[in-house]
Amino acid sequence: MPFDERLATRVRDILAEECPAQEKRMFGGLAFMVNGHMCCGIVGEVLVVRVGAALYEHALSQPHARPMDFTGRSMKGLVYVDPPGYRTTKSLRKWVSNGLRFVLSLPTK
């Protein structure tokens, strides 16, 4: 499944302001890795954000967010965000920051 290249550029721009990130093909899309951990990614036109267990329920309460169920069951700590949820730069930045906050709390791989 191809991923949204325009969204990838927007995420790259946000991450470039914050910290170095690597890109890796994952989940049939693109993942952005920080310190060896997946921070966020794109599957089709859906944003994937790794928020961690502590922020998982809060993230799900946000508009246009839903459990990541790529394997057919929810993956705790990961959420899908549909396009209306990241339409503005401010909203996309918020989601990417949530992912960064979590992965930067983990030890570097």
pLDDT of residue 70: 72
Q: What is the pLDDT along the chain (109 residues), one digit of tens a residue?
A: 689 999 999 999 999 999 999 999 987 899 999 999 999 999 999 999 999 999 999 999 999 999 998 777 778 899 999 999 999 999 999 999 999 999 999 999 8
Note the pTM of the prediction, 2 decimals: 0.94
Q: DSSP assignment of 15-80, as one string? A: HHHH---EEEEETTEEEEEETTEEEEEEETTEEEEE--HHHHHHHHTSTTEEE--TTSS--TTEEE
Query: Domain map of the chain by residue range?
Result: 5-103
CATH of domain 5-103: 3.90.1150.30
pLDDT of residue 50: 97
